């Protein structure tokens, strides 16, 4: 469902036993990820919405000509200036006083409200002429389970145990993994056509999400976008092309990519995102939403000229489309962004500009793994020896470029052995230092990445993290722009992601 109109009000700113069969959630509203048949009363009190509702409920005659509302922080009582309000096909952004105004609201439809750094909700209208809406602050702090890891009871239970004992509150699950396979058979015909359903690792996704919600876990669905070997092989006309052969180009892992200029590839991934949102995820997170970097890029051919202007336009237009398509589902929308992007004043040759992507995302998930900074940052040329400084200064640089907006920043932290420098283990101390840096920079939480799903040293690190101090706030990077260099043929400096 596309947004019909934009209304400005003020400033618009390994395999194991699979999990327990499920069909796509029936039409109706979602409450904390759960599905159920609904009555008119339920329809007005749900905390989540399904835009594909075909229940045929009779709509009452509009009784209000105008609805005024103010969105406030539930803890401080202060206005939330950047809250997004969605109602009956239109979207508003609150002004600096947290105010919005809706003409001729539909009293049968709730208004959906979300803001970065807060829990989303829905508010009933009935015959109220003025609403005071309170949003609860929220920071997601969690772990990641891979496409195969979620099916292993040992790995899954281990991760959930760390979340519980370590007082975490979030879990990232693959919807579509790095090789293009879906963890669950979503009802998207093209997915079945290209073989993306061949290795399902979750039998009942809706039930799993409901179980996680019962444990008060915020559930994020990760979708790998343009790195998609299955789609590029099935539809080479949509693929990044190898100019030497005329066949789909392969990266250093031997995997094909979809051309980011090709809108048919957009449509497939947006269909997956909406189907996943309907299953009950709290957030949809895009990864590899960029142009390719690894492999022999001298042989790459795209369907349009490979210029900075064209790359940025393609990535930004795709993110804007995704943001609008997901608004009716009242889910948050995030993307994994290369850690050097805040430092670079170009697009890092991959179409990512920090100031541009921020306009379309609820959360920017900077991949601030020290191992990924192969040239360090100004003042710190040995990044694995300075994990705290790398994380903190990158977040501060991002805040500077975004004129604040720390609430939009929720980085990925390194929870795996170094692969680029001295192969050191990232143990308890390194994990603690990265978390500490996030706390001191004021980010909206953080996520730990371990592709093995073992999370060694993680629990001990979480239990020993000291409270934030003022010392890191005195760190400053050297002045001047940092330019990300051209990648050497066959290499991929983008954090192996």
Q: What is the pLDDT of residues 260-281, one digit of tens each?
A: 999 999 999 999 999 999 999 9
Fold of 140-474: TIM Barrel (3.20.20)
* pLDDT value at 292 more than 80: yes
- pLDDT recorded at residue 32: 36
Parallel, antiparallel or unpaired: strands 445-449 and 140-145: parallel
Looking at residue 30, its pLDDT comes to 37
Torsion angle defined by CA atoms of residues 121, 443, 494 and 326, in that order, rounded to the nearest 10 degrees: 10
> Are residues 343 and 397 in contact, defined by beta-carbon separation less than 8 angstroms?
yes
Stretch 374-401: mean pLDDT: 97
- Check pLDDT > 50 for residue 197: yes
Q: Are strands 130-135 and 140-145 parallel, antiparallel or unpaired?
A: unpaired
Judge whether residue 233 has pLDDT over 90. yes
Instruction: Report d(CA 400, CA 444) in Å as an integer.
Output: 16
Q: How many residues belong to the chain?
A: 497
Superfamily of domain 5-135 in CATH is Carboxypeptidase-like, regulatory domain (2.60.40.1120)
Q: Structure tokens of 50?
A: 């399904």
Whether the predicted pLDDT of 413 surpasses 60? yes
Q: Which residue has the tokens 């393609």?
A: 314
Mean pLDDT of the chain: 86
**Is residue 59 scored above 80 in pLDDT?**
no
- Return the number of other C-beta atoms located less than 10 Å from residue 198's C-beta: 12
Q: Give yes or no for residue 74 having a pLDDT over 70.
A: yes
Determine the 3-state secondary structure of 92 from DSSP. Answer: strand
pLDDT at position 53 = 53
> 26: pLDDT confidence band, cut at 50, 70 and 90?
very low
- Position 294 scores a pLDDT of 74
Sorted by where each begins, the domain ranges of the chain are 5-135, 140-474
- Is residue 354 within 8 A of residue 304, CB to CB? The reply is no
């Amino acid at each position: 469902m596309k947004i019909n109109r934009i209304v400005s009000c003020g400033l618009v700113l390994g395999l194991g036993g699979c999990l327990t069969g499920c069909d796509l959630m029936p039409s109706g509203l979602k409450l904390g990820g759960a599905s159920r048949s609904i009555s008119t009363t339920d329809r007005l009190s749900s905390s989540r919405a399904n835009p594909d509702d075909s229940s045929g409920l009779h709509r009452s005659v509009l009784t209000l000509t105008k609805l005024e509302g103010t969105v406030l922080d539930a803890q401080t009582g202060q206005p939330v200036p950047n809250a997004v309000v969605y109602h009956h096909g239109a979207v508003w952004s609150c002004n600096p006083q947290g105010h919005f105004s809706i003409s001729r609201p539909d009293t049968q439809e709730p208004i959906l409200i979300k803001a970065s750094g807060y829990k989303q909700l829905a508010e009933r209208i009935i015959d109220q002429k003025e609403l005071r809406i309170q949003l609860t602050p929220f920071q997601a702090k969690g772990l990641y389970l891979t496409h195969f890891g979620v099916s292993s009871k040992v790995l899954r239970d281990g991760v959930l145990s760390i979340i519980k004992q370590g007082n975490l509150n979030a879990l990232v699950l693959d919807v579509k993994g790095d090789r293009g396979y879906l963890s669950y058979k979503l009802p998207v015909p093209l997915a079945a056509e290209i073989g993306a359903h061949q290795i399902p690792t979750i039998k009942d996704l809706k039930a799993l999400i409901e179980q996680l919600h019962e444990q008060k876990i915020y559930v994020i669905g990760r979708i790998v976008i343009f790195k998609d070997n299955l789609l590029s092989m099935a539809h080479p006309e949509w693929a990044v092309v190898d100019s030497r052969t005329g066949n789909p180009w392969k990266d250093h892992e031997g995997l094909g990519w979809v051309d980011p200029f090709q809108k048919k590839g957009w449509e497939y991934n947006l269909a997956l995102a909406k189907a996943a949102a309907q299953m009950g995820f709290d957030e949809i997170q895009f990864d590899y939403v960029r142009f390719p970097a690894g492999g022999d890029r001298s042989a790459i051919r795209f369907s349009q000229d490979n210029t900075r202007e064209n790359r940025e336009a393609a990535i930004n237009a795709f993110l804007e489309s995704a943001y609008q398509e997901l608004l009716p589902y009242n889910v948050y929308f995030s993307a994994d962004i290369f850690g050097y992007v805040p430092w670079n004043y170009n697009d890092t040759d991959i179409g990512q500009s920090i100031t541009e992507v921020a306009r379309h995302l609820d959360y920017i998930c900077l991949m601030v793994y020290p191992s990924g900074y192969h040239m360090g940052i100004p003042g710190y040329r040995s990044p694995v020896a300075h994990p705290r400084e790398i994380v903190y200064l990158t977040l501060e640089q991002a805040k500077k470029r975004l004129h604040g907006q720390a609430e939009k920043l929720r980085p990925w932290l390194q929870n795996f052995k170094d692969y680029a420098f001295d192969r050191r283990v990232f143990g308890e101390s390194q994990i603690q230092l990265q978390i500490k840096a996030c706390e001191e920079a004021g980010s909206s939480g953080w996520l730990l990445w371990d592709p093995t799903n073992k999370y060694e040293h993680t629990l001990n690190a979480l239990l020993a993290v000291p409270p934030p101090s003022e010392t890191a706030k005195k760190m400053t990077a050297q002045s001047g722009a940092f330019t990300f260099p051209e990648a050497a043929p066959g290499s991929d400096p983008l954090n192996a992601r």
